[in-house]
Structures are given as structure tokens and as C-alpha cells.
Amino acid sequence: MGRRPRDLRLLPKAHLHLHFTGSMRSATLIELAGKYGVHLPEALTSGEPPKLSATDERGWFRFQRLYDIARSCLREPDDIRRLVREAAEEDVRDGSRWLEIQVDPTSYAPHLGGLIPALEVILDAVESASRETGLGLRVLVAANRMKHPLDARTLARLAVRYADRGVVGFGLSNDERRGMARDFDRAFAIARDGGLLSAPHGGELTGPSSVRDCLDDLRAARIGHGVRAAEDPRLLGRLAESGVTCEVCPASNVALGVYAKPEDVPLRTLFDAGVPMALGADDPLLFGARLAAQYELARTHHGFTDEELAELARQSIRASAAPEGVKAELLSGVDGWLAG
């Protein structure tokens, strides 16, 4: 008889693709909605991931509407602190030892006194949650493709200003079919010059071209999603050679209709091509699955062995902004998981 599969919740890993509001527990959202008198649609209360099919404009609009409703329930500093603490607790339960949570502080500024106070509340919450849970916790500030590139520059300057307070990277989110990557090149140059890691979204709703744009125009060190690179062997080779990590979110890809079934997500194609990956949960509030479930999906639907799952965890750790000493400790923990 073969040995039982190792517990994936005990595998040390880094979580590099988790959106702020999307990290919320469903029960917390329902409680906060009651507190503020916000009506929640059934898709946010049923306990089942909504069927969104965001590959068309209507589906993406519905996804954004659900996200905006959930975000409207975060109005006070205590709400922010609770969200971050609970997200950290969930990550620790799933074996995460380092989390880089992604946030556009513009979205929370109206309730929290402005852009700077909003980011400071978030960073204070991150520092407290890290201290309380033992989880390494940092922030990636993300601009919105749907807004003007000048807004992105403002956010990039703000992110750099708080690089010594826990901001480690700069991203670009929302519908990649809108807003060319090159329109945001100046914002990303500001962020890179300030020592921040470049991690824009690409290769999710559109094809390999959006990944190439992130590499060429934004000099990405990591790509949020990036799965559509699997459609271009030359691009796969480029990602592998340059060591650019794709933050792959399998459950999200299926929930949003990028792929029809879990087994259609090209995890094996990327892995076998030597493209580094960091599995992420994206928005568990909407998609239901947190971090360990992404590794379980790789095991169940793609036949990843424990040795390969351990390598995925190593790739996530290496791609993180964690200090080298922390990386070494986590990598040793992965070896220990395999040896156990």
C-alpha cells in the first residue's frame, strides 16, 4: 500500500494573489451588511460561488457589481482590521506563512478620510494581524485599469512613500480588455524606481498578448494570472527563461469562465514548461476556495505528486518579497513536509 497523501494545509507556502475585499469571510460580509443596512444579493449569501462567466462584458460587470457591493460594507477602521485579521487567520490555517494582500486604497478612501488615511489604516491593520497571527504579511498596492493613468501615478508615488511601512509591490487589476498596459508604464516606472516589485494582471480574460504587454511595457517580475500564456509556446519559454512567476488562481479561472472545468486550467503545461507559479485564491469570498484548495485542485485534477506540489510551494516562496532569511526558513519547512 502507498502512503497517504500529505496534508496540504501543513505545506509551508506563500500566498501572492489575494484581493482585499475578496479575502473576506462570507459570515463577516453578512454581519457587516446588516450593520450598515446593505442589501446583499443571493449570490453573496447562498454560500455557493456565483456563476459569472466573466469572459463577456456582461459577466464581468456582474462580477464587479458583486465585488463593489461587498466593498461597500467596509466603512470603519475596525472593519478593515477585522478583515485583515480574519484573512490572516484563514491563510495560517491553510499553511500560508507569507501573504502579500492586494489593495487599491482609492476604493476605501471615501469612508476612511482620504487616500493617505485609508492606506495607513490598512497598513496598521496588516502590522497588527501579522503580530497577532505570526504570518508574514505585506501589501501590494494596485491601480485600476478602468481609471485614468494619472490616478495610477498618484498611487505609485503613494506606494513608494510607504515602502518602509509594508508596501512591497505595485499591481494593475480589473478588466484587462480595457486600458492598454503601456498607458500605465510611467506609474510602473515610478514604482520600480522606488524599489517596488512590478506585478500587473495579464493573461486571464485576454490571450498571450496581454502577458507580453506586461513584460514589455511594465517590466513585470510577476504576472497576476498569466495562464493564457499556455497558448503560446514561445511566450512560455520567455517566462521560464526570465523566471517571471505567474500567480495562477485555478478556482477563480473556472468560476469566471476562463476555463470550463478545473482540469482545463493549464497548470501542467506551465509547470512542465518551467514557468514558475504561485497558486493563489484571488477572491475566496466570491469563488469559495481558499489557498490550500488550489493545491488540492492541482493534486486531484492534474495529478501533481507531493514532490511537485512541494516545488509549487517553493516557487511561491522564491517569488515573494519575503526577506532572504524568511525564504530560507520556509524552504526548509517545505523540505520537512516532504520528509515527514
Catalytic residues: 204
CB 218 within 8 A of CB 172: yes
C-alpha 88/C-alpha 135 separation (Å) is 7
CA-nearest of 123, 125, 159 to 141 is 159
Residue bearing cell 476604493: 107
Instruction: Calculate the alpha carbon distances from 89 to 61, 95, 235, 262 in Å.
Output: 30, 10, 37, 26
Q: Which residues of 219-253 are buried (b: 16+ CB within 10 A; e: fewer)?
A: ebbbbbbbbbbbebeebbebbbeeebbbbbbbbbb
- What are the start-end ranges of the E strands in 230-311? 245-247
- Measured in degrees and rounded to the nearest 5, phi and psi for residue 302 equal -125, 0
C-alpha 38/C-alpha 21 separation (Å) is 15
Indicate the burial class of 207 (C-beta count within 10 angstroms; 0-12, 13-18, 19 or more).
middle
C-alpha 202/C-alpha 247 separation (Å) is 10
